[in-house]
A and B are shown apart, each in its own frame.
Chain A
């Protein structure tokens, strides 16, 4: 790369602390992909040897309600200030956010305090009055996917297989979807900025896959907060996801990965809905395009059992991906309960295969 280009690219980099993180959970992720956050913590602690603290006192940041027009900014900033105070009390300085909506709001809050210093003072006073707490702003604040990106090389050294189709020897074609609030609000806070986000593409490159560059690559998944949360408004959401699926379909992607909990959910579930509504599936033989979070992909490559990391909770079947990667799995254990007992199976949808 020419020196000039290096200088330009430097503007799209960010500092990611090496170790000792305070972890902030995601409302959506822990419900809809209930094994993902534990997997993330396990990879950091037991694969990468990092210290990351999971605090039972931490709560929602209010983000989903804030962006639905329900919660005053002052309330949200004070709830976030409480999370910072909890981090201080636990003895940490580096804040890792599991949710992209939250990440955007944490950055927004800190930026607001910089640009309107009186709001920081008001927040401090409100938090003190409400809880008696005080806080210092984290030294380093990143999204959870940033840490996986930072250590993608170390993970690469430990993985047992590459993102290669075992039958053909070709790299798997992988769509990366970046949540809007990761870098569209504050491009300097995202790896690669808003124009060239590399936080997930870097994983694909490092682990041997092939990026899919399709026309609607940067389009929103369609969450829209209040637009999804109300059944009467939900067409907004499925329409925007469909626009993306239709755009990526000609490239025949083997997998979609996302760094935002909401996006992962919508890109999975709207494929099921589109199939139910139109009989249309986006891969052959009635299958959809599997959708994984970044740590689910890392977990698979590191050798975790797909059913231990919750891949049976996705509506779109992941088996075609497992077969392409040559990952062995026991289909009979997919829907087993805690002690291996038979607890029945989900109903098979009409048009899209879930197994």
Chain B
């Protein structure tokens, strides 16, 4: 793993995000994630700046890099033009590409994200789609959403949407041609490779943890999504 920094330094988000941090801690003061979890962006930058391969490897295998909410409030506030949120984006990519994401509980949850918003993109052309959002998985949606879903043919027509229709408008079907374009872009630019890597390394980890792994909302998915 002697080349972790070599790989990290090729990511333009790392180049753009790390100027010269003097550890003032403003990023941590403004950070919504730091308020609610054991997360300190100032310390992340401090570790990355040390250029210590072992420390970087520990970071890539930790829960820490998955705590950020990517609101990017840190970009506005840093007096030296650093962007901890960008560095987190680069670290997350490297953690997946090296397979280290399965070493942490939070990192492993990338599979649950891949099987929801990731797969929705290539299935529907959107990250989110009403047919996939039920109140069991998203109870905070409340009774109004439950009622809307139950009556969606009628209500979405009343509200003038193009739900399930092959024309422009809200919630329209994405044409096969557009979905094919997305798939070809994913194949061409590393998106498919990234998503496949998450599946492949998650299978190995699920076996290690002795949790059933198949596809969709299997035992491993539910373990990651709910617990």
Contacts and interface: CB of A to CB of B under 8 A. Distances in A.
Nearest to A227: B69
B3 to A, nearest CB: 19
Given A38-B159, A232-B109, A236-B69, A194 B76 contact: yes
Contact of A78 (B35, B69, B170, B188): B188
Interface stretch (A151-159, A198-206, A217-225, A324-332): A217-225
A70 interface: yes
A226 B138 CA distance: 14
Contacts, number: 263
Contacts of B191: 71-72, 74-75
Given A69-B93, A70-B194, A236-B69, A75 B33 contact: no
Nearest to B172: A56
A62 to B, nearest CB: 6
A347 B146 CA distance: 9
B57 interface: no
A232 to B, nearest CB: 6
Greatest chain A CB density within 10 A among B93, B106, B117, B155 is at B117
B174 interface: yes
B18 interface: no
Nearest to B37: A236
A62 B118 CA distance: 8
B154 A187 contact: no
Interface residues of B, number: 89
A279 interface: no
Interface stretch (B47-55, B179-187, B208-216): B179-187
Interface string A319-355: 0000000000000000111100101111111000010
A35 interface: yes
A130 to B, nearest CB: 4
B142 A70 contact: no
Contact of B195 (A55, A64, A70, A116): A70
Interface in A229-249: 229-236, 238-240, 243
A90 to B, nearest CB: 11
B194 A71 contact: yes
Nearest to B223: A232
Contact of B12 (A27, A73, A315, A341): A73
Interface string B122-155: 0001111110010001101111111110110011
Interface string A26-67: 011011101101100000000000000011111110111101
Greatest chain B CB density within 10 A among A28, A181, A230 is at A230
Nearest to A69: B92
Contact of A238 (B12, B140, B186, B195): B140
B127 A345 contact: no
Interface string A72-92: 111101110010000000000
A147 interface: no
Contact of B128 (A27, A233, A344, A354): A27
Greatest chain B CB density within 10 A among A32, A119, A345 is at A32
Interface string B71-108: 11101100000000000010011001000000000100
A270 interface: yes
A344 B178 CA distance: 37
Given A227-B33, A337-B154, A347 B190 contact: no
A64 B70 CA distance: 10
A37 B170 contact: yes
Contacts of B32: 219-220, 222, 224, 236, 240
A239 B35 contact: yes
Interface of B: 12-13, 16, 32-33, 35-37, 66-67, 69-73, 75-76, 89, 92-93, 96, 106, 109-110, 112-114, 116-118, 121, 125-130, 133, 137-138, 140-148, 150-151, 154-161, 163, 166-172, 174-175, 177-179, 181-182, 184-191, 194-195, 198, 224-227
